[in-house]
Structure 1
């Protein structure tokens, strides 16, 4: 067990972690490793975390949240008859993490690595150091959050190609509760060089919550002519409701919102009730997400890769759970998207690895089971207008998703009173359904509805290679679930840490190939992963021949 700890001092949530038997583990505090970065000051005590977050609904005027956005500034909080600096509030969060970790581990917490956004300036970094000192901690190092997360992914994937002499380019996309960071790193022989970094210290999940809060306020004004902005308790409840709605929309296509007795108007109670669709939420936040993609492009341009290609994008921060984030990144970069590590914990776990390395502790690999292929359905896309039948592959559950997993997407009927849809399930990475492997199909009769009515599709993928596909019509009782066993169930999940360098190179290259070449490469790769002994050696030679031919044809003169 490590005697040094890693701390992710986050805008919305914080995490403290350490090494156990060489592997990073987040420490549960009050039953959860994710501690809300909320502080409530009463006359008698300082309350931090989940309890403070719950009490905020009754005492919003005594609560401080998102203090990270004020670090390094002259801002002062005036409450309970005293004045507090951001450094003191952050110190109170760190003290709570320290006490909780000491209670959980039974040992002292003294030496720590604390993470900060890569885009933090000198004043913000000095303020973080001061907060650590006030909490009675010895800060071994301030570690940039994207670099911290890369440590976890490196231990997860540990590419043999890097140790074999080839460098790898990573883009770490970190979208948290209050800040956004993007860094381009080159990993070579286990050494990380940050080639470029940029970000926005005032962009994150809090801003997405604000968009939903405004949607709620507009609905109250439209339906009941009520504006509760001056009611602190009502606004605290709306903020909580916005955050909960945002989280639920990452796993479902629509959320029915109901908040009773929110406030009063003319002596009568005011209730909020409405439905929020994922599509509506994505439209609200898309300009903000587009700005993060623009910053990611800027970071790649600043890195001046000069012939080197981006091999993978690593997702960090709870806000990356929003499905639109991955969609935009795939469209923008076409590189492998990795989210095998819990995005809320990745930075804290990386800080624990760095703390262990600084303390001379051995660090082991991290193993997870992931989906080896993307799973999705045939759908009608923009490119299908001139085709005899639809051939667009619409992903539902992406490759490299940690298993077991449940993913949901929304589709829409094509004509009024549509009677039936044929659900055809495929696995593969091509944009064309016909170029992927067909897993199975079934018919789903529809209740009569207008054109463009939603159809909810859920994929539940277990560790045995079984996918349960559930289809339903929102607003009706019409639903159907079918279990499909993947043909390659024996290799449907795999430990990324155990993949060979040849297999990694093949998968990285496949993401950049045109469909015809991609199909050929995936055929060779399937033969390689299924083979053993001499057959595997021959299959590997075939893959290497493919690499050599492709590189020879595409080498710049």
Structure 2
């Protein structure tokens, strides 16, 4: 059965009635680009009332484009037929996606929130985009629990929420604080109220994550006209100036990785295929470097900084700064005075970090981008030679090693024709211009990144709409009921995760089944020959079986294979021992015995012929 995640949508929660028929037709439609109608909002009316009450500016018809990023966010608006990135109150063109509550319980968003994070790590939220639309028991959520200083809790509905000062907030609410900041930035520039937006999401976001992003927009007082994929938005920004050809967009941001293949021709942007990893980005690079720095300090000073949240936050910020500096220099120094103390006095952190060392620490993360790229090319049915240009999007693409990997995958140097930090927001603004009718010469044809289907008898995922299908689309198929005269059917709409997880799970199940068989046959052989083999050999076989059982309790295919080979090697010694014993007993008859056996064997073969 394919690994699938339940779509958090009304369709997934509803039941389709079959009215006693023996078969029913189920139609599944996919259109990630279209937002829910305003009448279908899941938010209380008080949010709309609050928005109207606090809006003192005349309502304008502008549609802003927002790149709601894991690390930084950006807002853009169309000026005529040209997108313009708007600077925030601090004068920066991007805003940190950081939310905090200070000691007075005042809300801080953006640069002020990030600035006080060192002294207030428990009440400073960052990287919450990774939690949006995720369940608490999701393996990625459990991984995130170990990476952040703030509390991640299990919400009443089973989702992953965060807790600050005893209050729980959904990731959508946290995202809404950032979106509200973007909205205010746009309103300050335009001089009028803004109520409509196009928001970007990673191309590999599933339906639950997309719906949660729309909810964040509504909480912020925005009507989300459309949700578009980040690589697609970047391509819109690139192709605005009459660029044409087959384009690969490599988008490695703060928390997610996407790759898309698009064809641009006569103003038509057609996405051929998309792939990615929703848990790979700059946050992982920071964590890898942070772990190294913590271990180095422990090795030299014998002090574990992980027990000091303030020290870890200082080190986290220093790691992020060093990562940025190493994109333009070959080495940098990390100096943090009074990072800790012991009986001998204050301890200072001072280390020189080279680019080569940093690259060795994060090489395994960079290599994880290779497989999605190859899969995307395969799904699109094209070769690297057919790609005309590779666009780099996201701050992490400034890392020289990342650019080197991109060059190796696609066989050509990546283009720097777009700003990695601003291209996505500009593309969202262009899409807003298309929706308003300001930009009429462009047409966007996007795809659904994950397959859609329903659960059928036996827990089988029956695919109706394949991944990388151009949307909007719909598919109908007739299904029979599981029993005669069945009056109703519960329909579970599922969204398939990427095939690699399916293959990995199947491989794990298969290897565990094989290991079970190996244990059974090994124990059977051991019990049969226990009295005929040395005690040392029996103990070795028992130890190999125990090791194999321990490996089976985990999820490592390679570990199970290794222990299974060890068990097979150990049990093969039984045969070796028995053969040695048999050979010595029959050696007295010499060569004549062997010759006597050969003659009838030859006569037998001739008779058969």
| TM over 0.5, shorter chain | yes
Which residue does 2:261 correspond to in 1? 184
Q: Which has the higher contact order (CA 8 A, sep 6+)?
A: 2
Q: Is the 8 A contact 1:2 1:361 kept in 2?
A: no
Alignment pair present for 1:16 and 2:63: no
Output the CA distance in 2 between the equivalents of 1:341 and 1:136. 30
**Structure having the larger proportion of residues in strand:** 1
Structure 2 runs not aligned, ≥5 long = 1-59, 135-158, 443-609
Who is 1:148 aligned against? 233
CA contact (8 A) 2:384 2:411 kept: no
Residue 44 to residue 364, structure 1, CA distance change in 2 (3 Å)? farther
Task: State the 4+ residue runs in structure 1 displaced beyond 3 angstroms.
Answer: 362-365
**What is aligned with 2:339?**
262
Tell me the equivalent position of 2:108. Answer: 47
C-alpha distance in 1 between matches for 2:79 and 2:255: 30
Selected match of 1:206 from 283, 287, 290: 283
Deviation at 1:93? 0.9
Q: Tell me, yes or no, if structure 1 residue 90 matches structure 2 residue 172.
A: no
Task: Identify unmatched segments of 5+ residues in structure 1.
Answer: 163-167, 366-557
> 1:169, CA displacement in angstroms?
1.5
1:79 to 160, 164, 177: 164
| Cα offsets for 1:320-350 (capped at 9, x unmatched) | 0001111111122123521222201111111
1-10 or 295-304, which deviates more: 1-10
Residue 340 in structure 1 maps to residue 425 in structure 2: no
CA contact (8 A) 2:64 2:186 kept: no
8 Å Cα contact 2:373/2:409 also seen in 1:
no
CA displacement at 1:187 relative to structure 2: 1.8
Q: Secondary structure at the match of 2:328?
A: coil
Q: Which residue of 1 aligns with 2:507?
A: none
- 2:61 touches 2:194 (CA, 8 Å); kept in 1? no
| 2:377 aligned with 1:300 | yes
CA RMSD in angstroms comes to 1.9
Residue by residue over 1:198-237, the C-alpha shift from the partner in whole angstroms, topping out at 9 and shown as x without a partner, is 1111100011111111121122111111111121111111
> Does the 8 Å CA contact 1:155/1:364 hold for their aligned counterparts?
no
**Which residue does 2:212 correspond to in 1?**
127
Q: Which has the higher helix share?
A: 2
Matched-pair contact (CA < 8 Å) for 2:101–2:124: yes
Out of 33, 37, 44, the residue aligned to residue 97 of structure 2 is 37
1:155 to partner: Cα distance: 1.8
Aligned positions, number? 357
TM-score (norm 2): 0.57
Contact 1:2 1:18 in 2 (8 A): no
Is contact 2:251-2:257 (8 Å) kept? yes
Q: Secondary structure at the match of 1:76?
A: strand
Find 2:316's aligned residue among 228, 239, 242: 239
Mapped contact 2:64–2:75 kept (Cα < 8 A): yes
Alpha-carbon deviation of 1:265?
Answer: 2.7
Look up the match of 1:62: 123
Q: CA deviation at 1:104?
A: 2.7
Q: What displacement does 1:58 show?
A: 1.0
Instruction: Assess, with a 3 A threshold, how the Cα gap between structure 1 residues 364 and 196 changes in structure 2: closer, same or farther.
Output: closer
**Any idea what SS the aligned residue of 1:229 has?**
helix
Counterpart residue number, 1:384: none
Matches within 5 A, 1:90-489: 90-156=175-241, 158-159=242-243, 162=244, 168-266=245-343, 268-305=345-382, 309-362=386-439
| Structure 1 residues 329 and 271: alpha-carbon distance in aligned structure 2, compared to 1, 3 A threshold | same
Question: 1:294, CA displacement in angstroms?
Answer: 2.0
Q: Distance in 2 between matches of 1:342 and 1:265?
A: 47
Distance 1:256 1:336, change over 3 A: closer
Contact 1:311 1:336 (C-alpha < 8 Å) held by counterparts: no
- Residue aligned with 2:66, SS: strand
Per the alignment, do residues 153 and 307 of structure 1 end up closer, same or farther by CA in structure 2, a change over 3 Å counting? closer
